[in-house]
Amino acid sequence: MASAAGKIPSLINSAIAQARPQFNIFLKYARVELAPPKVSEIPQIKAGIGRLLSSAKTGAWKQLTVKQATLNTLVGAEVLFWFYVGECIGKRHIVGYDV
């Protein structure tokens, strides 16, 4: 048992050394993807919303491929899930509001 306890620090150090490159890659992409939009990107966002609304009105969504529709559904689900996570963080509780 003493030999197992003596190996724990070396195992932890090797795990950290192996995980560091993947964590650095995660941080690189997280800084870009999770950053709030810049002021220069606001016109692009407005144009994208306008295209989305016009395609919904004209029925252009019916012409999407299955792959594109699946991707759009997954992106919508991701936005919805992040909304729920934000709600849980905001109310500081997982279930219900404190009335």
- Contact of 79 with 71, CB cutoff 8 Å: no
Task: Look at residue 96 and give its three-state secondary structure.
Answer: coil
Query: What's the pLDDT score for residue 67?
Result: 96
Query: What's the pLDDT score for residue 56?
Result: 87
Q: Which carries the bigger pLDDT value, residue 67 or residue 4?
A: 67
- Would the pTM count as exceeding 0.95? no
Task: Look at residue 34 and give its three-state secondary structure.
Answer: coil
